[in-house]
Structure 1
């Protein structure tokens, strides 16, 4: 890690570009600090306060003039506060004469609202994109969107990071003979991601076929592939209430799976998620630190939760954006 940090510091120093400045909102400061540690730059000084009328005010405590500013803010609970704080930080940075402002959003929660699938609703994913651009964001950096078409909601450049490398390395670490297992996609929408990880593991691939029984409810219909007697690796973009995860694990077990490991990019863990995971017949459920998982939730899950670090990936991407290098080459 020290070599990586040194490399980033040297590249940034040699870039002859505007100074690199990294700031963070309140939603996931540990991740922001870890990204800065990997970059070898300090986390910038800013302050967010809330008035008695619930209004927010953001204040930068150092000069941003002509700087290449990156603002890290994940859309986790309370999501509305996180979005408002980010917009205020972007607007304040532009008003302070920042040269370029990049919004780093590890978890873009409104990516789920990407289409009008029932009457008289808002396509909130597009609306939030419009708001961020109107606030002054020049570029967006995100990880594992629930719907990749959300890219199209932005008129500014969007860099979309993948956690597949981190998830694959985790599976290999947990199971030395991971190539003998099966990567399972919990639905058709996850098959592309599952296929990428299966190729990296040189393992088998399976999928759960689901049918929609109402506007808000789906249920598993069949498991396509062979899992009997095998270690199964379930991969997905996020876990919210863990309702779908319970169904997926249960159908795996009913089909004779030996061990079940779960890994997702975003561990949101809302409502009854922790209780469900604690009672679930799985060896481990892992998520990355795009969303801050409190120690209390880790303990309540009975030792089944693991948190994987994606700060080096974000640090690499920020360094490449700052120095004008390709971001996509990080995943080749």
Structure 2
């Protein structure tokens, strides 16, 4: 087996910008070039996906970077086919770097005769030959148990904490973290504890899926700068309604920190016209031109933490160390120089 002097990374078409950013970060950390493996991921005229790897990967530790975001089915198939190509090319180990894990919202049966698609997707990945998964902010923690392989779930909360402490320095005493629903309380509480501020909850009741009938605020938000925290923002309907409700309850400002900016349909327009002063998302999903142009949407990078996590996996060292804000601060050098 050849000596593995560096990990090998390969990318599908889902988020090439993030893949190149991870590559540059890894090169900086190692003091040597860590480029993307030369390959092509294309489609035949009938939509079938074809993968060809142009470099020798025999005995190599391979990392596939691919979010299974929109179009979810195409990106998922790209991931599975790339894995099969690497496995048949005798790669030593295949790790899937999935910044956004699609189908995660289908993690349980909500009514009779419905699937648990997240489990099906996990089975497909394992069967394709993936031996380890690295992802960020899974919609539900139990999805890690759907896999029969190791799953490392990174958290955006330490990155968000650095951003909040930098951008709200000197006024954290008037900041309240808000969960947009009861199910997200643990996520919101974690950020609130990291930055040392209060917590509130927006309790929403739905008359049917996708339709919010009533929303109430649990907690004191009058005169506060409210920060809504969630893992996914899709059409932004509920998020914008929550911002309106907080303003009506006396909040002075509303900002949102969302890990995965799906932002489909009318989302960008809604956010632009909403009462939110800013929406902060990560680059786990490739941003559209509309998202990049929106005046109140800001993107924070995840490449530093993913690059370090890949190197930790390759070196056999701890990934959980990246859960701490103090650990992330040095690798986000210069971005949050005033955070404390």
> What is the TM-score of this pair, normalised by structure 2?
0.90
Which residue does 1:319 correspond to in 2? 311
Match of residue 275, structure 1, among 266, 269, 279: 269
Shift of 1:180: 2.5
Aligned residues: 315
Structure 1 pair 219/316, CA: closer, same or farther in 2 (3 Å)? farther
| CA distance, structure 2, for counterparts of residue 148 and residue 193 of structure 1 | 11
| C-alpha RMSD over aligned residues | 1.4
Given that residues 240 and 270 in structure 2 are in contact (C-alpha distance below 8 angstroms), is that contact kept between their aligned partners in structure 1?
A: yes
- Contact 2:23 2:307 (C-alpha < 8 Å) held by counterparts: yes
Identify the range of structure 1 (277-286 vs 169-178) with the bigger mean alpha-carbon deviation. Answer: 169-178
User: Where does structure 2 lack aligned partners over 5 or more consecutive residues?
Assistant: 28-33, 325-340
Contact 1:74 1:107 in 2 (8 A): yes
- Using the TM superposition, name which of 209-218 and 149-158 deviates more: 209-218
Cα deviation, residue 173, structure 1: 2.3
Match of 1:155 among 119, 141, 148: 148
Contact in 2 for aligned 1:118/1:215 (Cα 8 Å): no
Deviates more, 1:17-26 or 1:277-286: 17-26
Question: Which of residues 179, 204, 222 in structure 2 aligns to 1:210?
Answer: 204
Query: Aligned match of 2:53 in 57, 60, 73?
Result: 60
Per the alignment, residue 261 of structure 1 pairs with 255
Q: CA contact under 8 A between 2:39 and 2:52: conserved in structure 1?
A: yes
Cα shift at 1:49: 1.5
CA deviation map 1:251-294 (0-9, x unaligned) = 10110000111111001100110111011011101100000112
Measured after TM superposition, the shift of residue 105 of structure 1 is 0.4
Q: Does 1:246 align with 2:278?
A: no
Aligned counterpart, 1:201: 195
Aligned to 1:234: 228
* Alpha-carbon shift at residue 17 of structure 1 (Å): 5.1
Distance 1:241 1:252 in 2: 19
Hey, what's the Cα distance between the residues in 2 that align with 1:169 and 1:283?
19
Quote the residue 2:116 is aligned against: 123
Tell me how far 1:220 sits from its aligned partner.
4.2
Contact 1:22 1:72 in 2 (8 A): yes
Asked if the contact 1:25–1:72 (Cα under 8 Å) also holds between the matched residues in 2, the reply is yes
Q: What secondary structure sits across from 2:149 in the alignment?
A: coil
Partner of 2:300 in structure 1?
308
Give the Å deviation of 1:118. Answer: 2.1
Distance 1:242 1:331, change over 3 A: same
Which residue of 140, 146, 161 maps to 2:139?
Answer: 146
Contact 1:18 1:67 in 2 (8 A): no
The superposition leaves residues 177-204 of structure 1 with CA deviations (integer Å, 9 ceiling, x where unpaired) of: 2242100011111111111111111111
Distance in 2 (CA, whole Å) between partners of 1:189 and 1:296 is: 30
TM-score (norm 1): 0.92
1:221 Cα deviation after fit: 3.6
- 2:281 equivalent to 1:287: yes
Partner of 1:106: 99
1:106-135 Cα deviation digits (max 9, x unpaired): 001211000111222221111111111110
Tell me, yes or no, if structure 1 residue 188 matches structure 2 residue 182. yes
Q: Secondary structure at the match of 1:62?
A: coil
Q: 1:91 aligns with which of 84, 87, 95?
A: 84
Q: Are residue 27 (structure 1) and residue 17 (structure 2) matched? A: no
Deviation of 1:215 (Å):
4.7
User: Are the aligned partners of 1:179 and 1:201 in contact in 2 as well (CA < 8 Å)?
Assistant: no
